[in-house]
Amino acid sequence: MTKALQTVVLVALLTAALAALSLFASRQGYPQGAMGLRRLDDLATAATFVPLAAIYFFSALLLMILPMRAAAFLYHNATEAVFWTTVVLFGTIVGVLLARAAFGQTSVLWALADWRFIFPLAVAGCHFFLNELGRSTLLRVIGFAAFLAATLACLFWTFRF
């Protein structure tokens, strides 16, 4: 968990530096600054987490039913990769918002109140308890049902209220 937090902070700082550079260049009148900031803004949306969460929950679902060797392969090559992608994307979003706030646009911090940020938290929470789910048959069945429901919800529910 400490490594994930350190990664979020480091990526947020690196992204904030790039966004601040883009904001500074844009204020000086260079069009490349606006283009760079637009690219970071396009990446930094909470809606990006819904399909990532679906992929993560599907890989976790398969971990509950696959044999040990196949599950280990899937865990190291898919589940871990999607988890770290989620961590890096969340750090990117925080970094862009912090850079904008540092340049006087403090209202953008309300974007962190978007309810869709529950998806990276759910992915992180599931990832930290994934080893515990594989220890007993009952927990595997419960995990399978929960991951199936989460996968189907992320894929087919519109999440519009």
Residues of the chain under the 50 pLDDT cut: none
Secondary structure of residue 7 in the 3-state scheme: helix
pLDDT of residue 61: 94
pLDDT of residue 59: 95
- Please give the structure tokens belonging to residue 25: 């260049």
Secondary structure of residue 103 in the 3-state scheme: coil
| CA within 13 Å, CB half, 120 | 24
pLDDT of residue 119: 93
pLDDT of residue 40: 85
pLDDT of residue 161: 61
pTM of the predicted structure, to 2 decimals: 0.86
d(CA 121, CA 123): 5
Write the single-letter amino acid at 150: A
Distances in Å between the Cα of 44 and the Cα atoms of 9, 62, 83, 106, 132 are 15, 29, 17, 16, 32
